[in-house]
Every structure is written in C-alpha cells, then in structure tokens.
C-alpha cells in the first residue's frame, strides 16, 4: 500500500517512512500543505498520514478540502495536539483515525491496516482467496498447513492481486505499490517478483495477460 506522509519534521518523517516500510507499506513524505496538494493531485495513494501543525497552515484545512471534493481517501491524523477536544474536532472534520505524538510505530502500522481494511469493506485482518490466506501484519501466507514467506515487494504484489481477484493489474499499477516517487524503478522488478511468487505458489497461480498485465488464475494453483 502506498501512503503519503505529511509531516514537517524531517527526522520524524524519515523514521515513519522507514518504519512503515518494514511493515510492508510504501511511503512518500512531504513537509508542507502545498507539496501535499501537489502529491495528492498526482494520485496513486491508498491513504494519508497527516500532521495538523504545518509550516503553511493546518492539516485540517487539507482534510476539509478533500472531504468537500468528495474524496474518500483514508486519512489518519498524527499530531501533538492530543487533547480530547482536538481528537473530536479532527474526527468530526472527516479523519478516519487519530493518533497523538509520541506514538509507537507498530501501533501506527496496525491502525493504518485497520483503516485501509475498512476502506476496502473488509472486516477480517486476514485476506483469503481460493485457499490462500494472507496476513498483512506479518507479510506471510498460508495454503492449508504450508506456511509461505515473502519479501516485502513480493507480498505487496500478491496482496494487490488478491484484493482485486479477476482484475488485470498493469505493470505500472504494480510498480506504484512497490516504489515511492523518489525511487528509481527497475525495469524488470515486477517480472522478477512474479517469477518468485509462481515458484512459491505454483506456476499457474498468476496469469500473464499479454500487453495488459497480471491477474490471479481462475483455478488459483
């Protein structure tokens, strides 16, 4: 899942990005409302981690703009303003969750997973498809008694496909799950990870749709 972090403290912002990366997220970070607006206009984000006190205004203004425009993009407010009335104000303004500073990175990752589950209309923490069970919290899978372990990027690709069974996802769409906007995209990364996934799941688990992308096979194995 690709997230936008809007936080003006570069040390904290980098720490969040690295920590969320270890939990399977791909994070891009900006430090101002202006940069956040530009990033959101470009699109491709599954959610936003938003500070309230920013150099060029309040994160609540950006949140209000998103909701006024009809955006349902999940937003978690992450801020030092953690009094009850601040939390109430943030949630009533349209935030999906609210976490005060200081915070624990594991809790932040768990809240983001829960927030994104709700956005997808999914109640269970584990994602299931055709006998495959995926656990985003541990980035592992299981087919029957067999436990499957994946690299972060392998899991990101597989999760994207399982979340959209039957849908063809292009190479570009999968690359957006793997890379932030400041990272160099390696030309054959997706193909390499698809190859590794087929070695673990079965060669017929993922179909290549020539000229279009990838999708889960009907039989799943």
The domain boundary, picked from 102, 120, 138, lies at 120
What's the pLDDT tens digit per position in 86-105? 889 999 999 999 999 999 99
Q: What is the pLDDT of residues 17-50, one digit of tens each?
A: 999 988 989 899 999 999 999 999 988 899 999 9
Please answer whether residues 207 and 217 qualify as being in contact, where contact means their C-beta atoms are separated by less than 8 angstroms. yes
Q: Quick one: average pLDDT of 61-69? A: 96
Does residue 183 carry a pLDDT above 70?
no
Same domain, 72 and 143: no
Tokens found for residue 221: 């194995």
Helix (H) or strand (E) holding 75: strand 75-79
Query: Rounded to two decimals, what is the model's pTM?
Result: 0.81
Place of tokens 């990175």: 105
Confidence of residue 221 (pLDDT cuts 50, 70, 90): very low
Q: Is residue 221 part of a domain?
A: no
Query: Are both 159 and 211 inside the same structural domain?
Result: yes
173 and 160 in contact (C-beta within 8 Å)?
A: yes
**Which residues form the domain of 68?**
2-120
Q: For residue range 101-129, list pLDDT tens digits in order.
A: 999 999 999 999 999 988 888 878 899 98
- 16 belongs to a structural domain: yes
The structural domain count of the chain equals 2
Which of these three, 94, 120, 146, is where a domain ends?
Answer: 120
């Amino acid at each position: 899942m690709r997230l936008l972090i809007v936080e003006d403290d570069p040390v904290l912002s980098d720490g969040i990005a690295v920590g969320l990366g270890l939990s399977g997220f791909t994070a891009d970070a900006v430090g101002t409302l202006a940069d956040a607006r530009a990033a959101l206009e470009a699109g491709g984000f599954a959610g936003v981690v938003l500070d309230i006190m920013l150099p060029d205004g309040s994160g609540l203004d950006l949140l209000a703009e998103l909701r006024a425009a009809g955006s349902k993009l999940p937003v978690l407010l992450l801020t030092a303003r953690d009094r009850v009335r601040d939390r109430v104000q943030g949630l009533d303004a349209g935030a999906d969750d609210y976490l005060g500073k200081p915070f624990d990175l594991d809790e932040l990752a768990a809240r983001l997973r829960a927030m994104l589950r709700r956005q997808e209309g999914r109640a269970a923490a584990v994602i299931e498809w055709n006998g495959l069970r995926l656990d985003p919290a541990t980035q592992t899978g299981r087919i029957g008694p067999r436990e499957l372990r994946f690299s972060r990027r392998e899991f990101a690709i597989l999760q994207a496909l399982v979340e959209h069974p039957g849908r063809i996802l292009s190479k570009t769409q999968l690359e957006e799950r793997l890379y932030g906007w400041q990272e160099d995209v390696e030309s054959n990364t997706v193909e390499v990870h698809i190859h590794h996934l087929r070695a673990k799941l079965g060669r017929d688990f993922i179909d290549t749709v020539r000229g279009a992308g990838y999708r889960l096979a009907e039989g799943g194995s």
